[in-house]
């Protein structure tokens, strides 16, 4: 009997021998027209998608060739993601996203890449490869995060239920009931669910709509919020956002403080998962740019001081000019750059990244994003074969390293698409 356990990364080991692809890389150019997205969230993470299959199908319909996921704290869906992506001829990339807190920056009021919360730090892990058989340290860190998050969501759900009940709406919601709604919506198991604030907002909005007649909702929401809602009575997503803003944010009646890892622990977890620590750049995704990211020259020095070899942008948040300003300067400093969309709200945007308002990504920026995706493909391939990856390879000149990994990734992708 074959007791071999199928893993999401198996397809990388079946592509070709390392030596063969490394030799081919010397004669492969970066693709000019590769279509990509380095970061979407897959259900049961809060997501625009109902199922993994829907996400991959939309990507395939748009002609996306390389698709990366970046879920919070549980990676159980990555096996099905791989199988469906392969079936559609899409190259899958695996990642994670972690929220950390830098208390010294918080004390100084320095916003990092969360415009509303000084010191709060989003960090991505790109090209993770050891998420199916966790090291002891990775398991310890993930358990700490999950336990802290579960306790916070439990307490916040209880507070929300009390507030709604005080205004005549007995939701019957607790942590288990919210999880049950996520399970029903996405067809997953309860142990795969990492509850997020948006899950709670959606559950309370749904029960509110089920309980309160449409012509009574504005008055009842005004009573709940202490202010008239800006959204219409039938705008489910708008009401969810307002529930979060009026009841759950810091200083509001249902707020429960978060317990975070610090940045060093978050980066340690990413490395333990076999990934590349990657800084998500907000840039003009905030009306007032975050202090951590300005001025640009100083920000780049901060990235270097923190050892970042890769950053990611979400172009739909950025104007083409600012996107080009940041991407060109960061890449010229010897840091690889990738781009995604997140899709971490219910807005079903295109999966191929664009700038604000659907404006096209400038050609010179797109070429850098393609290079970055190739770097990720190379890292994933090499780590799957037990070889040093992008951050643990010999620390040669960073631009040379990016170019070398870009060529390797181009060879990996070429071989993958030939086999489809």
List the one residue out of 304, 308, 399, 321 whose CA is nearest residue 355.
321
Pairing of strands 276-281, 91-101: unpaired
Contacts of 130 by beta carbon, 8 Å cutoff, 6+ apart:
138, 272, 273, 274, 383
Q: Do 200 and 109 have their domain in common?
A: no
Tokens 């980066």 belong to 267
Q: Which pLDDT value is given to residue 394?
A: 63
Q: Is residue 87 part of a domain?
A: yes
- Does residue 6 register a pLDDT over 80? no
As a whole number of Å, the end-to-end CA separation of the chain is 29
Residue 104 lies in a domain: yes
Q: What residues make up the domain containing 188?
A: 142-248
Residues 59 and 160 in one domain: no
* CA separation for the pair 339, 39 (Å, rounded): 7
CA distance 91 to 420: 10
Residue 298 predicted with pLDDT over 80: yes
Q: How confident is the model at residue 1 (pLDDT cuts 50, 70, 90)?
A: very low
CA distance 415 to 311: 26
CA distance 12 to 86: 11
Q: What percentage of the chain has pLDDT greater than the value 90?
A: 93
pLDDT of residue 295 exceeding 80, the answer is yes
Q: Examine the domain organization and report whether 122 and 146 are in the same domain.
A: no
Whole-model pTM over 0.75: yes
122 and 194 share a domain? no
- Does one domain contain both 86 and 117? yes
* Separation CA 243–CA 202 (nearest Å): 9
Would 1 be classed as within a structural domain?
A: no
152: its two tokens: 């916070």
CA-wise closest residue to 140 among 44, 7, 268 = 268
Per-residue confidence (pLDDT) for residue 143, from 0 to 100:
96
Q: Is residue 262 part of a domain?
A: no
5 falls in which pLDDT band (50, 70, 90)? low
Regarding whether 334 and 302 lie in a shared domain, the answer is yes
SS3 51: coil
Q: Do 377 and 337 share a structural domain?
A: yes
Domain assignment of residue 283, yes or no: yes
- 267 in any annotated domain: no
User: Is 295 in the same domain as 348?
Assistant: yes
Measured CA to CA, the distance from residue 42 to residue 51 in angstroms comes to 7
**Over the stretch 208-235, which tens digit does the pLDDT of each residue have?**
999 999 999 999 999 999 999 999 999 9
Q: Does some domain include residue 384?
A: yes
Examine the pLDDT at 4 and tell me if it is beyond 80. Answer: no
* pLDDT the model gives residue 395: 67
Same domain, yes or no: 286 and 415: yes
Encode pLDDT of 71-128 as tens digits. 999 999 999 999 999 999 999 999 999 999 999 999 999 999 999 899 999 999 999 9
The set of residues, in sequence order, having a beta carbon less than 8 Å from that of 336 and lying 6+ positions away, is: 309, 310, 311, 371, 372, 375, 390, 402, 405
C-alpha–C-alpha distance, residues 163 and 88, integer Å: 46
Q: How many structural domains is the chain composed of?
A: 2
**pLDDT given for residue 16 in this prediction:** 78
Tell me the mean pLDDT in the region 259-280: 96
Block residue for tokens 């800006």: 230
For the residues of 206-218, what is the DSSP string, one character each?
HHHHHHS-GGGHH
pLDDT value at residue 420:
83
Rounded mean pLDDT, 390-394:
81
Tell the burial category of 92 from Cβ atoms under 10 Å away from its Cβ (0-12, 13-18, 19+): buried
The confidence score (pLDDT) of residue 382 equals 95
Predicted pLDDT at 418: 93
Token duo for residue 14:
């079946």
Residues 323 and 215 in one domain: no
Task: Quickly list DSSP for 111-170.
Answer: --S-TTSTTEEEEEEES---SSS--HHHHHHHHHHHHHHHHHHHHHHHHHHHHHHHTT--
Indicate the residue among 213, 248, 283 that finishes a domain.
248
The b-or-e profile of 101-138 (16+ CB within 10 A means b, else e) is bbeebbeeeebbbbeebbbbbbbbbbbbbbbbebeeeb
pLDDT in tens, 136-168: 999 999 999 999 999 999 999 999 999 999 999
- At 7, the pLDDT band (50, 70, 90 cuts) reads confident
**283 & 412 share domain:** yes
| Interacting residues of 140 by C-beta distance below 8 A, sequence separation 6+ | none
Same domain for 147 and 127, yes or no, is: no
Instruction: Give the helix/strand (H/E) hosting 95.
Output: strand 91-101
Mean pLDDT of 321-327: 98
Q: Which CA distances in Å does 348 have to 164, 222, 233, 303, 343? A: 29, 28, 21, 32, 7
Helix (H) or strand (E) holding 37: strand 36-40
The whole-angstrom separation of Cα 29 and Cα 34 is 12
Across the range 10-34, mean pLDDT stands at: 91
Map residue 377 onto helix, strand or coil: helix
- Whether residue 265 lies inside any domain: the answer is no
**What CATH number is attached to the domain comprising 119?**
3.20.20.140
Round to whole Å and give the CA distance between 85 and 181: 26
Q: pLDDT class for 320, splitting at 50, 70, 90?
A: very high
393 pLDDT band (50/70/90 cuts)?
A: low
State residue 186's pLDDT score.
Answer: 95
Cα(12)–Cα(387) distance, integer angstroms: 12
């Amino acid at each position: 009997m074959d007791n071999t356990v199928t893993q999401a990364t198996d397809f990388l080991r079946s592509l070709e021998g390392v030596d063969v692809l490394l030799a081919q890389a010397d004669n492969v150019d970066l693709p000019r027209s590769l279509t990509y997205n380095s970061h979407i969230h897959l259900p049961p993470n809060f997501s625009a998608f109902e199922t993994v299959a829907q996400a991959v199908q939309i990507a395939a319909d748009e002609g996306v060739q390389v698709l990366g996921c970046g879920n919070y704290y549980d990676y159980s869906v990555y096996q099905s993601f791989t199988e469906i992506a392969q079936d559609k001829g899409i190259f899958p990339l695996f990642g994670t996203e972690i929220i950390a807190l830098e208390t010294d920056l918080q004390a100084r009021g320095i916003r990092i890449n969360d415009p509303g919360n000084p010191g709060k730090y989003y960090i991505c892990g790109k090209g993770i490869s050891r998420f199916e058989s966790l090291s002891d340290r990775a398991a310890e860190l993930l358990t700490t995060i999950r336990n802290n998050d579960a306790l916070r969501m439990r307490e916040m759900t209880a507070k929300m239920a009390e507030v709604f009940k005080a205004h005549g709406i007995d939701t019957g919601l607790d942590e288990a009931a919210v999880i049950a709604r996520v399970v029903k919506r996405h067809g997953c198991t309860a142990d795969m669910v990492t509850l997020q604030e948006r899950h709670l907002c959606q559950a309370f909005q749904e029960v509110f709509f089920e309980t309160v007649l449409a012509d009574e909702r504005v008055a009842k929401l005004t009573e709940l919020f202490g202010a008239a809602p800006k959204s219409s009575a039938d705008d489910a997503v708008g009401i969810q956002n307002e529930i979060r803003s009026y009841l759950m944010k810091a200083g509001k009646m249902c707020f429960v403080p978060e317990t975070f890892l610090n940045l060093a622990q978050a980066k340690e977890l990413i490395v333990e998962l076999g990934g590349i620590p990657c800084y998500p750049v907000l840039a003009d995704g905030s009306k007032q740019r975050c202090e951590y990211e300005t001025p640009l020259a100083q920000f780049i020095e901060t990235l270097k001081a923190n050892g970042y070899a890769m950053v990611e942008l979400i172009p739909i948040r950025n104007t083409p000019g600012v996107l080009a300003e940041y991407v060109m300067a960061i890449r010229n400093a010897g840091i690889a750059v990738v781009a995604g969309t997140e899709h971490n709200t219910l807005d079903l945007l295109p999966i191929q990244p664009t700038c604000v308002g659907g404006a096209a990504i400038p050609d010179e920026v797109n070429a850098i994003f393609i290079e970055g995706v190739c770097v990720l493909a190379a890292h994933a391939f090499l780590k799957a074969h037990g070889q040093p990856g992008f951050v643990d390879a010999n620390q040669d000149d960073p631009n040379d390293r990016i170019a070398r990994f870009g060529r390797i990734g181009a060879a990996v992708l070429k071989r993958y698409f030939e086999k489809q």
